[in-house]
Each structure stands twice: as C-alpha cells, then as structure tokens.
Amino acid sequence: MKTRKKLFFFLLPLALLFAGCEKPPAAGLPSQEEVGELETLYGKATEEVFPFYGVSGEAREEELAAGIPVPQTREIEEHSFSPVLLFDVTQNPGAFYGIRYTAVLQDGEDPTVLGRELYAQLEDACGQPDTYPLLVNRISDSWKEIEKCQGSQYQEEWLTDNGKTRILLQIGFPDGETSTVKITYCYEQPPASGLLSEEEIAAVEELYLQPEEAAFARYGIFPGEVSEEQINRGVPAPQLREVGGGSFTPILLLDMSQKPYRFFGVRYTAVLQDGEDPTALGRELYGQLEDACGEPDTYPLLENRLTGCWEDVEARREDSYREEWITENEKTQIILQVNVLSGQISTVEITYRLYVPLN
C-alpha cells in the first residue's frame, strides 16, 4: 500500500504539470504574423495543412467541402470562436484557401456589440472596407436591421495591404433564437486582366444551365451562404478583373424559375462613384469588343444604343445604354451596358450569357 501511495503522489504532480502545459486558446483577431503564416499555406494539400493546425487523420471529399474543424477554439472579445479550415474541392487533392472562425450566440443574445467591435478592429487594421459597393445587406448599411435580428445574413469585406488575403465579417440569423458571427481569412486571387479570352468564354459555356453549386465552386463562392435576395440580384464572386483601366467584379447570374437554380451567365461590373465619367471606360470597352467580335448585333431599333448615345452618357443623363454581340458559335451573347444611376454613381457592365435566339 505504501508503494502505491508513493507512486500516486509522484504521478499527481506530473499530471498537473502536463495539464498546465496545455496550450491556451489563442486570443484576439489573428495577428499580422499569423496571417503571414496562413498565406504560406494557400494552395497546399491536407498533408501540409493539418499538422500546422493540430488536425489528425484524413478527410473525405464531402468533409473537405463542409470544412475541417480545428480542435482549439479562439477567444475574441470574450466570445469563443470555432475555427474551420476551408478547402477547394474542385481540385484534387483539395487545395487549402482559408480559415473561418465562427461564434454562435444563443438565447437571443444581440450580436450588434460584438459585430461593431470586430468591424472597428478590422477597419483599424485594414482601413475602409473593400466590399463590392452594390452588395445586398452590407453590414455598414444594416446596423438597424442587425439590432432587430432581422434578415438572414450581412457581410463586409477587407483586403490586406499585400493583397493576398480577403477578410470577411459576416453576421447571420439562422433561426429566431440563434445568431452567428463569422470572420473568414481566405486567399485573394490576383486580378485577371482583359476581356474574356476564347478559352475563358468556353469555360463559361460549359457551366450554362448547371446547378448553382457547380457555378459557386467554379468561382470560389462559399456554398450555403448566399441569400435569395442576393441570388435575385446576382451573386458577387471574389476574383476581380481589370479591363480597360477599370476594376470589375464578377456577378453570377442564376435562373430562379425553378430549383435547383441554374447558371446562365456572368456579368462583370465596375462601379464609378463621386461623379466619375463612365464615357472613357465605356468607349474603350466598345472598341475592344468591336475589335474582338466585329460590328454589334444589337437590334437596330433598340432605344438607347450606345452608338447613338455617347453624348447622353457624357452628360450623365440617367438611363441605361447598351450594345450587344453574339459569339461565332452562337452560344454566348455579350452585352456592354453603361448605367447612369445618378450624377454621382454609374456602372459599366460586360455580360457573358447564354444566347437564346428569338424565333
């Protein structure tokens, strides 16, 4: 008995010692150094990513698609956030592209205070948001709705100084009793440039009439986090495109007439603010499309054709002006549209969509 007692009292301090050595939860938003470490893992496979985050074992494709939970939580503003590793399952093996931290607030807890604090911290660290200006349910425009726990999900985005990581802050209400606050750090693809090439148009054509999941996977959009209202207006995708000196956000177009919703095109939109004149950008794109596709195929009697309305565009007369082209294989309609929304805001759009001939 004495030997057992001695052994017990010898092992007890060791157990307490090892328990005290357990790594405490990380605290606060990821530091600049942590984001730098994250960026070194972009594009890597699970074999390299799992050990870094303390994840063991292997994962099936459906598990990668749902996200891989990390065992250790992160404490941010006195709330526990659960990390999930994000992988692109369109590649084999799945390529790592980011990490999402989620806090679940229950029993009717108001997410406004936590959301405002995180918004302020991200603004201090990264400056003004880099959110697509016409995104539905931007957090910065929706604090009153968030306070009332109305709507489904609100979002704001920032880009790190080096342009490698996009940070998303999301506040959602999955049911009447629960709200979620999510912070995602994910890979930001370098902007593509120029009009879509023949190969890129062919890739768009392969997606025509495919279900929304296929289009979301192709354009790097998080599945299950897009509201019906946003789908109705078009779903912004992360990779920007530089064309003619303008920065364009890709917007996925989905047919909502029946489920599953079907992809029928992509619209690239540049938002010009503070009274910037859209004429120069519109003329540049018109010239490029004419060089690539020849004379427009626009219906001759269409009102507000760009070819006859450049003076109206320059005068900022509020209206929509457009021209159209059809690709040689007659699968895709290309639409150039300039929308003067007010004296201060206008948009320039290039749309590649399924061509449906009128019989």
What's the pLDDT tens digit per position in 96-142? 999 999 999 988 888 999 999 999 999 999 999 999 888 888 999 99
E-assigned strand segments in the chain: 26-27, 68-69, 74-76, 79-88, 95-105, 153-159, 165-172, 179-187, 192-193, 235-236, 241-243, 246-255, 262-272, 319-326, 332-340, 346-354
pLDDT tier at 224 (50, 70, 90 boundaries)?
Answer: low
Contact (CB, 8 A) for 271 and 347: yes
Contact (CB, 8 A) for 338 and 346: yes
Question: Could you state, in order of their start, the residue ranges of all structural domains in the chain?
Answer: 26-187, 192-354
Percent of the chain's residues with pLDDT above 90 = 69
pLDDT tier at 19 (50, 70, 90 boundaries)?
Answer: very low
- Identify the pLDDT of residue 40: 97
pLDDT tens track for 273-291 = 888 999 999 999 999 999 9
pLDDT at 316 over 50: yes
Strands 165-172, 179-187: parallel, antiparallel or unpaired by DSSP? antiparallel
- Identify the pLDDT of residue 9: 38
